[in-house]
Every structure is written in C-alpha cells, then in structure tokens.
Amino acid sequence: MTTALRRLRNYIDGEFRDAADGRTTEVVNPATGEAYATAPLSAAADVDAAMAAAEAAFPAWRDLIPAERQKVLLKIADRFEERAEELIAAESENCGKPVALVRSEEIPPMVDQIRFFAGAARMLEGRSAGEYMDGFTSIIRREPVGVCAQVAPWNYPMMMAVWKFAPALAAGNTVVIKPSDTTPASTVLIADIIGSVLDELGHSRGVFNVICGDRETGRLMVEHKVPAMASITGSVRAGMQVAESASKDLKRVHLELGGKAPVVVFEDTDIAKAVEDISVAGYFNAGQDCTAATRVLVQESIHDEFVAALAKAAAETKTGAVDDEDVLYGPLNNANQLKQVKGFIERLPAHAKIEAGGEQVGEKGYFFAPTVVSGLKQDDEIVQHEVFGPVITVQSFSDEKQAVEWANGVEYALASSVWTKDHARAMRMSRSLDFGCVWINTHIPLVAEMPHGGFKKSGYGKDLSAYGFDDYTRIKHVMTSLDG
C-alpha cells in the first residue's frame, strides 16, 4: 500500500495553481530518501502568468507610501511567528533539518530580518537637494526597479526566500520567486502567508508569486521580458548562466554564489575554544553553507594539537533524525549532493589523511559523517573547490604572509575568519583578506543590519542591511528650473 503524495502548487496572482501543462516532479525528504510530495514543473505559460500578475500589481504597490509597505511587512513577520510550527515542519521535511534547530536558529532571525526591512521601507535616502547650477535645483529620487525574478537555493530555502522578498517588497518592487526543485514546500507555505496578509490589508496578491520548477524554469524567468532584475543564490555555474542570460536585455543582476571560507588560526589562539566554535561553524547544516568554516589554516607550531582536538570534536558531533535534539545537523539535501561529497573524499590525494569520518552513515537518507582531512596542499581539489558538506580540511602554514597568500588563493571571496589574541595582527589580516566578511575569533554570526555578500566568483550585490535594500532600488535625478 502506497501513501498518496502531497500536492504542492504554484502561487500566481493570489491563486494556487498546477502547472498549465500538468507536469510535476517528485519532492524527496533527504532524511528518508523517499518522496513525500509533488510540485509543478513550470514552463513558459506559467512563467508568463506569474510575470503578468507581478507586472499588473507593480504600479499600485510602487505608489504606496512607505508606511503602508512597512505595515504589510510587519504583519508578515507577525504571521511568521503565529505559524512558526507550520514553517518549521515544512522546512524540516524540505531539508531533513533537525526541528529544534530550525525553531531556534532560523525562525527568530527570519522574523527579525523581515522587521528590519519593514523599517528600511521608510528610509529611502538620497543625497540632499541643492543648487549646482545657477537657477536650478536638483533632487534625487530613489525608486523601486520593478518586477524582480528571484531564485532561491536548497540549503536555506526558507531563510533565503526572506532575504530576497523582504528587501524587494520593502523597496516597492513586486516578486516572482522560484525555490529549488528539491525544496519547494516552505516557499509555497510562505506564499500562503504573504497572500493572506496582502488580502487582509487590501493589496493585490499579485505582489508576490511563487513558481516551482527546475533550471529551465529559472532560465525562462531570467530571460523573460518583464523582470527588471534577476536575483539568485546558488552555484557559480548557475550565477554565470544567469548573468549571461540577463545580459541579453541588460537586466540588473544580484548574485550570491559559492564560498570557500578560510579559517586562519594563529599559534596564540585558545585552541579548545577555537575548535569548539569552528566545529559548529563547519558542520552546522551539514556544511551546506557558503560561509561554512570548512577550510582551516593552522600555524605549524600548533598544527598537531589542533588537528587532534578537531578530530575528537568531529567524533563527538552527531548527525541524525529530525526529532533528535542532540544532533547538530541532518542529511545532505539530495542524492546528487551526497554523490558530490563522496567524490571529493574518494579523489583525495595520497598525501591527505582522513582524521575523522569520511563516510556515509545511516541505513536511509543522505547522511554523511563529520569529517576532518589533514595533510593537504594549496592546489589540492578539496582545498580549491567548494565541497558543500560536513568536511573540514586542514592545512599548516608557517607565518602571516603565507597564511594570507593561501587564504586568498582560491576563486571564491565570500567570508573568512581570523583567530588570534593579537589585536594588531587581527587588524592586518582583516585588511589583507580578500573576502566580503572577516570574522575575528568567531565564525558565521550574521545580523540584519550588516551586509552579506562577496567578491570574485562569490558574486556581487549584498543581502541584508541597508546595502541589500539599496540593491533593489534605482536612482533618478530630477532638476527643476527656479524661473517657474
């Protein structure tokens, strides 16, 4: 006897709809490896309908005074809190994430971030007006860009949806967002929440639309004539494809892509404290985080002691069922990702040593053991490329100059951290590290008020903060004659 799969639907212009041609794809719970739902495999007709809805809703939403958009976002944040348990259940099933961690580590910051951008809606600042030519006054208008096509990833589908829709709506844009084909459930639930708020407050539900589908669906969204901006969080390859597609009609592009964060540990560090924090920052969410602390560079004088402590911490770190409150992380998101992580381990060079883990665990699902790999060289594949799994690599460096060279010696430039008691050294390193974020004696905390975004192949544009809000606006110069 088979259990009927739940049916997820697109959300277009305030209605839940199947794909126009009826095609679907199965959605798998990574903790079990079994399908639990179907979702639309949207095609051109569905994208056209969503874009038309967002385009029609844009003028009225754009023209609202900021206080009214703030009211909507504050109500959405309240509704997230009221329906938190539904969101937690959807995200846990989406991703196999431990329920307790979704409740404590995702719901509170998401609500805070929505409320932050609700406030930002009323801070559309421009440079002061003035007379820069005799007889004329110039002013600056900051305006929304229009319809935004947004593509969210599978590692944090719910939180990344918030990072995208909250600043876009706050700035006066309308949205068509596509979740990953492996994790659509929580985004569809968010559509229900936002749609109900828009309806209650008398606004068009076409302001926010959700399209489910695969890479082809995303391509159709980015290449569509309606959106003025395309925003994606995803792989470098996906970002390059989006940038190329958007270039055909010069759409604005916002890219948050991969990372390979260096964690530079100097000999004066408190080893026990550093190992404890780095282990959490490396293994949280199964290492499926662009800022994860998975590339550790340790000064040679403490290398052996540090590696031993890190291997012990890995052995004590637990992965497992979503309802086990003692686990730090759940499974990898999908079978392809499990295959990718295994491949990195299988292709390790002879000089590498697996200090802990290195294998799949459990009889079902896509779980992988907390892993530590030492003895690595700067040009090794696992050092240069993003694993996106619970694998921490360790290299030994001699001095500050070499640490900087190796830390910067990758194609990614999203986040980094420095561990030292020497304030001057910390300041030198924060200046020298070529990454969008440098943490000192910590790794991975984020706040709504500060920007998140990188350089090089980690993309461009910022999430969170006033900088992230600005990315969803455009600047207009208005000049008026004083002669009347």
Residue 290 known to be catalytic: yes
Half-sphere exposure of 112 (CA within 13 A, CB side): 13
Helix or strand holding residue 66 (H, E): helix 66-82
Q: Residue 143 burial by CB count (10 A; 0-12/13-18/19+): exposed, middle or buried?
A: middle
Residue 95 known to be catalytic: no
Q: Residue 359 burial by CB count (10 A; 0-12/13-18/19+): exposed, middle or buried?
A: exposed
Task: Select which of 290, 355, 386, 437 is catalytic.
Answer: 290
Contacts for 316-323 with beta carbons within 8 Å, 24 or more apart? 317/279, 317/283, 317/370, 319/286, 319/361, 319/367, 319/368, 319/369, 319/370, 319/390, 320/362, 320/367, 321/31, 321/98, 322/31, 322/92, 322/96, 322/97, 322/98, 322/99, 323/98, 323/99
SS3 367: strand
Task: Select which of 106, 223, 256, 355 is catalytic.
Answer: 256
How far is residue 338's CA from residue 343's CA, in Å, rounded to a whole number?
9
CA torsion sign for 276, 280, 286, 287 is negative
* Active site members: 256, 290
